Structure formats: structure tokens, C-alpha cells
Structure 1
Amino acid sequence: MSDPLPMFPLGTVVFPGMSVPLHVFEDRYRMLVNHLLTVEDPAARVFGTVAIREGYEVGDHGAQSVYRMGCVLQLTEVERRDDGTFDIVAVARERLMLEEMQRGVDFPQGVVALVPEPEVEVPDDLLDKARATFTAFRVAMTELQGDPFSGTLPRDPDYLAWTLSALTPLPLAERQSLLEAENATERLRLVTRLLTEELRAINVIPSLPATQVARTAWSPN
């Protein structure tokens, strides 16, 4: 992208297609939302996010180390609170590569390059294995703490890869590796392997996965 993109680093990994609700209370990000609301075309109300590797997203002087690959987010819903904060919803679009983070006058900005998703032919046996592994994981998690998921899995291989990546409760670094996978085939292979490892942990130490989910399940805050 030729112009710097407003940036909103988060303590989680966002995947294309995800709906991301956020409570915006810090001054610089309130200014970011106000800036987006001045954009006439709703489709152009976009900003970027990358996951915070270490540090924190609050405070003017907090040091941050962020991952380089993230997503473009489109602002879709805004509710302004009486105290000046916002509750917003954004939808993740394509991936981005952060080339440079800039402080900006009012809010962080980034020089980014868009990362298109390559078109690949995903083998049918891999699709079947990914679906079956997730179904087994879902059954195991339901027995431990109730069904944490809802809905049906998409048939499209790209959407399936992103959906399984978003739904699988994993540590930050492993979620980032799913985002950075080269294409849908590699992403489905990786998420299937990670789900298989989680299932093994369930069989060996029944109390472990519930603890992992409580610690690492995706949250927008």
C-alpha cells in the first residue's frame, strides 16, 4: 500500500474472515476510530493489526515487540459510549506484512504490503482429515467443558483453513504460524498436526486441555 495504514496492535492473532469486537478506550485508538469515521466510503474504513509478541498494547510508554504479518481490518460497526470510548466490530480481510511501524501524529501507522492468498489445489484426503480431526477435537472438548464452538464448517478449502485456524485454541506463537503458512494446503496440514497433538494431550492428561483453552482461547481484548 502506498500510504501508511492506521495500526491497532492486539494481544491476539487475527485471521481473514474473523469478526473482531473491540472496546476502544485508549486515547490514540479513539483518535484512530474518529479518523476512520471521517472516511466517506465505508469499504475504505480500514486499519491494520499485528499480534503483540511481547509487551502490551496500553500506555504511551509501553515497549512492544510485534509480529510482522497481520491482517487488514474493515470497520463495520461503531457504538460511541457516553464516556468517549467506542465499542466497535471489524472484519478481517487480507493478510498484510508490516514493513515499518511509525508513531504517527495521533495514532500508530504502518508501512505495509498486502499478502495475497495463493490459489492451490488442496488434496481431498487432506480436507477429509482436517475435518475429521477437528470433529474429534470438538467432541473431546465438549466432554470436558461443553461445546465451545457452533455452526458448521465451510466447504471451501481456503475458508476451511482460516476457520480451523481461528477456532483452534492454541498459544500465540502457534496461531501466528498458522497465519504465516504459505497457503491453504500448508495451513490445513499444520492445523491438523496441532489438533492431533491437542487430542493426545487430552488422552494423556485430561485436565490439561481445559487449562490450555482457558489460557489461550481467542479473545479480542
Structure 2
Amino acid sequence: MTTALPLFPLNSVLFPGLVLPLNIFEARYRALMRDLLAVPEDEPRRFGVVAIRDGREVAPTAVGLPEDVTGAAGSDPAGGFGPDLMSSFHTIGCVADATTIRKRPPRGSAPTGGAEEGPENGDDSAGYEALATGTTRFRLLSVDAGGPYLTAEVEELPEEEGEGAGALAAGVLRAFQTYQKRLAGARERTLAAGQELPDDPSVVSYLVAAATVLDTPAKQRLLQAPDTASRLAEELRVLRRESAVIGQLPSLPAVELTRKPTSFN
């Protein structure tokens, strides 16, 4: 079964169950936020997130949050990507549900108190802050640039567990604890310290995929693994390799390595 979704390309990978903060100021994405705010509050505000293979995430006029964030580059739904949109993106992405959308007050005005606001409440040129949660993986079938922002036809993908996922999940959690201790230092707080760890193999696989310090292509390979067991097996190999590499280094700026900025769009 296929469905149509607004498309939000990023230079990062979103995994099911993980939270995505967004700082939105480009015209095309402001239009998307307005449309999502028009969806009734008791219905999911869904859009698709895909990692960019070729192109740029943010229009040139938006770099560094300049004074004018409403220019023509931001109004082109295909701006920054090549003529073949499908080749610009990885074909496996993740559906996101915007649980919170907050419009910033116009520059120079007083804050409004942080309540969710709809498009009828005036100027949105200062952009939006949004918080979305990944829900389901999908396969990208086609991309359309005919509207104010990109839309896509997608096929949602079920999560198959695969053989031996439970045992692999336990091994991945042990390897991840070793990885964190070596990355942050044995005395530093880790994911396992004082926290209840998940026991669902698919949850473990996505949590570890998101928390491990990897580049976008490596994270994309984990997202598109055919089943949970395959993802966990790859994570076990990656964690053992990374832990061995870290163990050979004298020191690492762990705080800086693990700090992830808000995605700007």
C-alpha cells in the first residue's frame, strides 16, 4: 500500500522511535508547517524524512540565519537538488509525526508564551520550532516538486524481526556500554547508568543506531537493513570496531563528539 507524504530532506537520518528537533525558517518548510498545523490536533501530523544523497539541505540565502529568510531560493521546492530528484535522496526514509509545532514571534516582538499557533495568527517569517518523532520506515517511490514543498509517494515498510534478534540485542547492549565508556570515559554517565534499557530488539536496534557516532552513510545503512536481526548484527560489528579504535587513542573530546545540533531548515 502506498501513500503520499510531504517530504523533508535532511543531511541526517531519522530512526523510528527517535525524536527530531527542527528549526524551520525557509519558505517551503514554513508552508509545510502551516499545512501540518491545519491538521486536527487529534490526528497525526505526518511527513517523510529522507537523508540527502546529493544536493544541499539549506538554500544559500538561509546559511547562518541572515536577515532575509524569505528570498526566492527558499521558495523553490526543489531548490538545492538536481533535476533528478529521486537520485538526490536515499530511497529508505522514516515517517515523522510532528508532536509539537511552535511559531516564533516576529523579530522585535515579545515572546508569545510558547503555545502552539496556527497560520491564522499572523506573520510566520521568523519561522517555526518543531519536535517530531520517527514512526515507520518507508521506501521512496517518487518525488513531486509541483507544490510549495516536495511531496512523495511512499510505501511503508513493516519491521521484520529476523532470526536471533533477541540474543543479538543483548550482545549489542553489552557492546554499546563498552563503546560508551571508552568514548566518554569510565567515570562519565552512560546510557546504561541508572536507566532502564529497552528489551524490544527493534527498539534496541534503532536506539543504538541513533546514539552511535557514525557518518550519515553508515547510519543510512543501518536504517535500510532488511530486518532487526541484520541491523543488530551490523551494529555489533561496528561497535566492536569503534571500541577497538577508540581504545588506541589517547583521548577524545567526547562531549563534542556526541553533541548533535538542531537541524536547521
Per the normalisation by structure 1, the TM-score is 0.89
1:35-94 deviation line (CA, Å, top 9, x unaligned): 011112543310001011232122233126211110000110111111321111011000
Kindly indicate whether the alpha-carbon contact (under 8 Å) linking 1:20 and 1:92 is maintained by their aligned counterparts in 2.
yes
TM-fit CA distance, 1:146: 4.3
Q: Alpha carbons of 1:189 and 1:119: their partners in 2 closer, same or farther (altered >3 Å)?
A: closer
Question: Which structure is larger by alpha-carbon Rg, 1 or 2?
Answer: 2
> Which letter maps to 1:196?
R
Count of equivalent residues: 219
TM-fit CA distance, 1:123: 4.9
In the TM superposition, 1:20-99 aligns within 5 A as: 20-40=20-40, 42-59=42-59, 60=73, 61-63=79-81, 65-83=88-106, 84=124, 85-99=127-141
For 2:142, the equivalent position in structure 1 comes to 100
Kindly indicate whether the alpha-carbon contact (under 8 Å) linking 1:170 and 1:212 is maintained by their aligned counterparts in 2.
no
CA distance in 2, matches of 1:49, 1:169: 20
Q: Alpha carbons of 1:145 and 1:110: their partners in 2 closer, same or farther (altered >3 Å)?
A: farther
Kindly indicate whether the alpha-carbon contact (under 8 Å) linking 1:144 and 1:210 is maintained by their aligned counterparts in 2.
no
In the TM superposition, 1:1-221 aligns within 5 A as: 2-40=2-40, 42-59=42-59, 60=73, 61-63=79-81, 65-83=88-106, 84=124, 85-143=127-185, 146-147=188-189, 149=191, 151-207=195-251, 210=253, 214=257, 218-221=260-263
CA distance in 1, matches of 2:255, 2:153: 35
Q: Alpha carbons of 1:201 and 1:210: their partners in 2 closer, same or farther (altered >3 Å)?
A: farther
Listed as ranges, the gaps of 5+ residues in structure 2 are 60-72, 74-78, 83-87, 107-123
Listed as ranges, the gaps of 5+ residues in structure 1 are none
Q: Alpha carbons of 1:192 and 1:11: their partners in 2 closer, same or farther (altered >3 Å)?
A: same
> Which letter maps to 2:4?
P
> Which letter maps to 1:201?
V
TM-fit CA distance, 1:136: 0.5
Instruction: For residue 95 of structure 2, give the secondary structure of its aligned residue in structure 1.
Output: strand
CA distance in 2, matches of 1:124, 1:94: 21
TM-fit CA distance, 1:195: 0.9
1:171-198 deviation line (CA, Å, top 9, x unaligned): 1111001001111111111111111111
Kindly indicate whether the alpha-carbon contact (under 8 Å) linking 1:102 and 1:110 is maintained by their aligned counterparts in 2.
yes
Q: Alpha carbons of 1:35 and 1:204: their partners in 2 closer, same or farther (altered >3 Å)?
A: same
Kindly indicate whether the alpha-carbon contact (under 8 Å) linking 1:6 and 1:47 is maintained by their aligned counterparts in 2.
yes
> Which letter maps to 2:184?
T
Instruction: For residue 10 of structure 2, give the secondary structure of its aligned residue in structure 1.
Output: coil
CA distance in 1, matches of 2:45, 2:25: 19
CA distance in 1, matches of 2:165, 2:128: 44
Q: Alpha carbons of 1:211 and 1:173: their partners in 2 closer, same or farther (altered >3 Å)?
A: farther
Identity among equivalent positions (%) equals 32
| Aligned alpha-carbon RMSD (Å) | 2.4
Kindly indicate whether the alpha-carbon contact (under 8 Å) linking 2:15 and 2:210 is maintained by their aligned counterparts in 1.
yes
Q: Alpha carbons of 1:147 and 1:55: their partners in 2 closer, same or farther (altered >3 Å)?
A: farther
TM-fit CA distance, 1:153: 2.3
